[in-house]
Amino acid sequence: MNIAGLMNQFQQISQKNNQFNQNSANKQMQFQASESQKLRDFNMTEAEKDRNWQERMSNSAHQRQVADLKKAGLNPILSVNSGAGTGAGAVASQGSSGSGSKADADASAISAMAGLAAASINSSATIAAAAQNANAMMASAQTQAAAQRYSSENALKGVLSSSKNSMVSSIFSSMMQSSASRYSADKQYDASMYKTQNEIPFKALDSVSKFLDAILPG
């Protein structure tokens, strides 16, 4: 069940509990009103009884006193200026009416379901936060990998460029050395040929001179 369905179920249970509590409260108020009315009726009846008793006692005060005087052997005339005392009587009174008891709906299930809903919401929030953190870490890792790849490519380009320049410089140096060696060898060869060509006529003249010395008399 999703969160929306769970909240809808909460509302339905809460409405039923509220209706039950309201009905129970109405019954309790009706009971209290009935008991209060009974108490008022009882107190009113007892007060009326007390008033009737006091009235009866007051109306018969002299008669009762005269009778008492005669029984005591006294002159009944003594009752002219007084009369038998009239007691206040006693009135029965009920102190308070019963309050009754009111049933309350059990809301523990709602509390439990609310706890489950809160746990589910917290779990969803935790999962969402974890997903956001994972996405952020993935984006950071991708950025770092791209930066490292860019740095590595630039470093490789630098190494290749340096190697290429070194190779070109080495080849150029070798070519220069080879040219210099070839130039020196050519010059040595030319000098050798020039010496040989110049020595040949002198050798030939020397041979002719020796031949002439041999055949001609001194």
Choose among 106, 95, 91: nearest CA to 40: 95
pLDDT exceeds 80 at position 108 = no
pLDDT band for position 93 (cuts 50, 70, 90): low
In a domain, 24, yes or no: yes
Provide mean pLDDT across the span 102-111. 63
User: By the 8 A CB rule, do 109 and 70 touch?
Assistant: no
The H or E element that residue 160 is part of is helix 108-215
Distance CA 115, CA 43 (A): 53
In a domain, 29, yes or no: yes
Provide mean pLDDT across the span 164-172. 77
pTM more than 0.85: no
The H or E element that residue 81 is part of is none
Distance CA 65, CA 21 (A): 64
pLDDT band for position 45 (cuts 50, 70, 90): very high
Of all residues in the chain, the percent with pLDDT exceeding 90 is 10
pLDDT band for position 214 (cuts 50, 70, 90): confident
pLDDT band for position 146 (cuts 50, 70, 90): confident
pLDDT band for position 114 (cuts 50, 70, 90): low
Q: How many domains does the chain have?
A: 1
pLDDT exceeds 80 at position 72 = yes
In a domain, 55, yes or no: yes
Q: Which domain does 22 fall in, by range?
A: 14-76
User: By the 8 A CB rule, do 69 and 75 touch?
Assistant: yes
Provide mean pLDDT across the span 146-161. 79
